[in-house]
């Protein structure tokens, strides 16, 4: 594949492992061992069995008939919202908990924004009987209270982070500090295609099950394994990486990532990194990020806690730079209207994050015969309070 990571951990000019010396041991162990472990027959057998019997894969590829009629084009939804725990996040945490066991780790840490990755991490730790600590921005703790309660019920310790703007970036900072201080027994399950190599590659590999299934399902339903386009929301970008992965070299397939515009890309309240950002280093990888002229991080904003991040995975930065993928941005208002449209057309309540991809359907030109696949990355159950307040029910 042209778009996979190279031996130094880079996608073009983006990626790498820009790490402090104290993190070297942790990263070096992962770099030297992860491929051998995750490509082994023993690992694949256990991973595939859990994907089928525990996660509930394959997730359906659903033809949204009324939504298709509304747009005058064929709309398919990849139903990651139907996975156990309600999102795509479990694909990655299943893989990483198995890896951690092979590495002999007895303690797991994670960061979370919307709480879906935190719940998925707490879930696999309960499954395997491993201690779990989840760092979460204090703002996100308050606006994603149902997921916080789920994590605690699953046995995880949830640590609110009060630094910065108390969201995903700050939770990631604290998780990295923890890992530096506990290198021997702890594995850090990063939830997206961000951070130092090998995390972006490793997480993309685990999430690639999404596009692998899409191909076989499209072949069965349409007669071709290649759609016209694939759309997915992008914060760090793990669900998009998974949805794009097996189409990257099929350049006739249009790939569209959708960032969080927040209150508008021309305001100070946005998380549309590729629209307003510039190259720099964030969380130990060179990527595109929101920063001032002197390199200080600009705090992002989105109504969606899972997309409220000032950077983007290096794979997506590379896809943007090369033009292989197109990246759009959707405002909070556009997203909320897309939530209502899907809910009332198809009886499916999407997560705020996923609704960014849905909002892009109003921004692109589609022909009647096109096959458009939207990765519905999560369920809206966690966002019901936001929806009820906004729509006044």
Catalytic residue among 59, 87, 377, 379: 377
Give the containing element (helix H, strand E) for 161: strand 157-161
Catalytic residue among 111, 174, 213, 334: 111
Catalytic-residue membership of 263? no
Instruction: Sort residue 347 into left (φ over 0), alpha (ψ -120 to 50) or beta.
Output: left
Contacts of 253 (CB under 8 A, 6+ apart): 226, 227, 228, 229, 230, 247
Parallel, antiparallel or unpaired: strands 131-137 and 107-112 = parallel
The two structure tokens encoding residue 1:
């594949």
The two structure tokens encoding residue 12:
């073009």
Instruction: Provide the CA 228 distance to its chain's centre, in angstroms.
Output: 22
Residue 287, Cβ density class (10 Å: 0-12 exposed, 13-18 middle, ≥19 buried) = buried
* Strand, helix or coil for residue 100: helix
Catalytic residue among 59, 78, 89, 353: 89
Nearest to 104, CA basis, from 2, 183, 181: 183
**Separation between Cα atoms, residue 188 and residue 215, nearest integer Å:** 31
- Adjacent-strand bridge partners of 287: 280
- DSSP one-letter string for 186-244: EEEE--SS-SSTTHHHHHHHHHTHHHHHHHHHHHHHHS-S--SEEEEE-SS-HHHHHHH
Helix, strand, coil share (%) of the chain residues, nearest 5: 45, 20, 35
Catalytic-residue membership of 111? yes
Residue 314 is given by DSSP the state H
> Which regions of 56-125 does DSSP assign to beta strands (E)?
61-63, 74-79, 107-112
Nearest to 161, CA basis, from 149, 170, 152: 170
Nearest to 158, CA basis, from 208, 205, 118, 101: 118
Q: Which residues are catalytic?
A: 89, 111, 377
């Amino acid at each position: 594949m042209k778009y996979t990571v190279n031996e130094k951990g880079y996608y073009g000019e983006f990626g790498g492992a820009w790490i402090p010396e104290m993190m070297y041991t942790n990263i070096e162990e992962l770099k030297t061992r992860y491929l051998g472990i995750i490509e082994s027959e023993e690992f694949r057998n256990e991973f595939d069995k859990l994907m089928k019997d525990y996660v509930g894969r394959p997730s359906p590829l659903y033809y949204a008939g009324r939504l298709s009629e509304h747009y005058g084009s064929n709309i398919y939804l990849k139903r990651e919202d139907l996975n156990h725990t309600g999102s795509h996040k479990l694909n990655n945490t299943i893989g990483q908990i198995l890896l951690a066991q092979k590495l002999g780790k007895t303690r797991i840490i994670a960061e979370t924004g919307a709480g879906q990755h935190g719940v998925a991490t707490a879930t696999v730790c309960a499954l395997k009987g491993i201690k779990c600590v989840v760092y979460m921005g204090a703002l996100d703790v308050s606006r994603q209270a149902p997921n916080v309660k789920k994590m605690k019920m699953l046995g995880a310790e949830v640590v609110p982070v009060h630094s910065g703007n108390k969201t995903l970036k700050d939770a990631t900072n604290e998780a990295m500090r923890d890992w530096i201080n506990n290198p021997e027994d702890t594995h850090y399950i990063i939830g997206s295609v961000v951070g130092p190599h090998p995390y972006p590659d490793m997480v993309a590999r685990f999430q690639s099950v999404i596009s692998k299934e899409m191909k076989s399902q499209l072949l069965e339903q349409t007669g071709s394994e290649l759609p016209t386009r694939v759309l997915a929301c992008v914060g760090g970008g793990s669900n998009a990486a998974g949805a794009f992965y097996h189409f990257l070299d099929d350049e006739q397939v249009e790939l569209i990532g959708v960032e969080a515009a927040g209150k508008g890309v021309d305001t100070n309240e946005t998380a549309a990194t590729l629209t307003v950002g510039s190259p720099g280093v964030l969380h130990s990888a060179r990527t595109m990020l929101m920063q001032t002229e002197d390199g200080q991080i600009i705090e992002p904003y989105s109504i969606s806690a899972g997309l409220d991040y000032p950077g983007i995975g290096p794979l997506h930065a590379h896809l943007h730079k090369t033009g292989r993928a197109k990246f759009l941005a959707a405002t909070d208002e556009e997203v909320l209207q897309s939530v209502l449209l899907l809910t009332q057309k198809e009886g499916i309540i999407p997560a705020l994050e996923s609704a960014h991809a849905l909002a892009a359907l109003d921004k692109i030109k589609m022909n009647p015969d096109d096959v458009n696949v939207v990765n519905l990355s999560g369920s809206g159950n966690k966002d019901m309070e936001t929806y009820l307040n906004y729509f006044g029910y």
